[in-house]
């Protein structure tokens, strides 16, 4: 989406920045991993296809993507490629209803897992989805066996609504009600939207 192309979102541990062509080569290296391809339900792409995918994510009005940066590394190195640890996305899933979206989070770097970066990145993305994109129903599709992601979403009050043995995934969802927003607002540690200036 172009709506997020000129902003970044700053949290305590992570910074979310728009997915730019500058990030593609490292992202492409991540997606050579069989584990990540399986967990994200993705197909391997050539580098040229990855660049085309990045452009489509930038242009398409039904996708919103941020690259997740480790804030500590970014502040130390001033280099976004060094600080890249994953990505987070929102997809509008119903062409007739722009208030329904599917959320995704991926921490690609093994060494960065288990430190709360994925959780904070997801919280920032969900906050953006609700406040800027006016999403009213949030969904997530989690692969069987991806216990950390299942725990992450269920702890945010997402509930199972569907299970597919064919795709080996569970669909979770939550309605953005006043009650849920009150709970959710206590989960987000810090959320600052700034104008994006790429650091490399």
Q: Where are the domains of the chain?
A: 2-190
CA distance linking residue 25 with residue 37, whole number of Å = 16
Q: What parts of the chain have a pLDDT lower than 70?
A: 198-200
CA distance linking residue 51 with residue 48, whole number of Å = 5
Q: What pLDDT does residue 38 have?
A: 79
CA distance linking residue 35 with residue 174, whole number of Å = 27
Q: What pLDDT does residue 199 have?
A: 56
Q: What pLDDT does residue 94 have?
A: 92
Q: What pLDDT does residue 3 have?
A: 87
pTM for the predicted model, two decimal places? 0.94
Structure tokens that stand for 110 in this block: 């093994």
Chain-centroid distance, C-alpha 154: 16
Classify 2-190 by CATH class: alpha beta
User: 139, 99 in Cβ contact below 8 A?
Assistant: no
CA distance linking residue 106 with residue 121, whole number of Å = 9
pLDDT tens-place string over residues 147-180: 999 999 999 999 999 999 999 999 999 999 999 9
- CA distances, 199 to each of 2, 65, 71, 119 (Å): 19, 18, 12, 24
CA distance linking residue 37 with residue 62, whole number of Å = 22
């Amino acid at each position: 989406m172009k709506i997020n192309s000129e902003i970044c979102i700053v949290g305590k541990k992570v910074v979310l920045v728009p997915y730019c062509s500058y990030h593609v080569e490292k992202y492409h290296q991540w997606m050579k991993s069989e584990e990540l391809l399986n967990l994200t339900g993705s197909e391997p792409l050539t580098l040229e296809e990855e660049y085309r995918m990045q452009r489509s994510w930038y242009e398409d009005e039904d996708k919103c993507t941020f690259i997740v940066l480790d804030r500590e590394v970014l502040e130390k190195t001033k280099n976004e490629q060094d600080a890249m640890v994953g990505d987070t996305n929102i997809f509008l899933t119903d062409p007739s209803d722009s208030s329904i979206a599917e959320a995704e989070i991926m921490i690609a770097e093994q060494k960065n897992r288990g430190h709360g970066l994925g959780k904070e990145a997801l919280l920032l993305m969900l906050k953006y989805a609700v406040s800027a994109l006016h999403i009213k129903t949030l969904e997530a599709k989690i692969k069987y066996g991806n216990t950390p992601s299942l725990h992450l979403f269920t702890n945010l009050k997402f509930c199972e609504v569907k299970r597919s043995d064919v795709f080996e995934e569970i669909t979770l969802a939550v309605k953005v009600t006043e009650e849920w927003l009150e709970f959710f607002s206590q989960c987000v540690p810090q959320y600052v939207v700034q104008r994006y200036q790429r650091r490399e």
